[in-house]
Amino acid sequence: MEFQVGDRVMLKVSPWKRIIRFGKREKLSPCFLGPFKVLARVGLQPYKLELPPEMAGIHNTFHVCYLRKCLAEEESVIPLSKIHVDKDNRCIEESEAILERKIKVLRHKEIVMVKVQWKHHRGSNITREAEEDLKRRYPHLFE
C-alpha cells in the first residue's frame, strides 16, 4: 500500500501493548485514530504524519502496516470543539433552519411535516420531522 503526500490516513493502535493508552475509556479502546495528514515518505515503507499537539510525546513516523487510507470526506469530520454534550453525555442536536412545510393526510387526521436542516450532522443534514415534535423540542425555531 502506498500513500501520497497530502493523503489522509488513519493510524492503527494496539491497546494491549501497555505502552500508551490512546483515549482509553473503561473497557473499550479505539482501534484507529485520526485522520492524519501524510507529510512525507521517509523510506520505502515509513511515513511521517502531522500529529495534533495532544500527541506531542509520540514520534510522528510510522510503518505502512499501521496506516489505513481514510475514506471519509473532509466535510464529514466534525471537530470535537463544535459538539455540545449534556450532563448525561448525549450529543445535543442543533437545528439550523426550517426549509419547507408539507401536510401529510392520513385517514382521519392531518400531520404537518417540516423539512429541517441540521448543524454538524453526518450524511444528509436534512430530515423530515413532525412539526408538533419539533415545537416541543426546539421552540426557538417557531418564534
pLDDT for the residue 50? 94
CB atoms under 10 Å from CB of 39, counted, come to: 15
Which of 19-23, 36-40, 48-52, 122-126 is least confident? 19-23
Exposed, middle or buried: residue 49 (CB in 10 Å: 0-12, 13-18, 19+)?
Answer: buried
pLDDT value, residue 19: 47
Global pTM reads 0.51
Q: Do 10 and 67 contact (CB within 8 A), yes or no? A: yes
Give CA–CA dist 141/143, Å, rounded.
6
pLDDT in tens, 58-102: 899 999 999 999 887 665 666 666 677 777 777 777 777 888 999
Residues ≥6 apart with Cβ < 8 Å to 128: 102, 113, 114, 115, 116
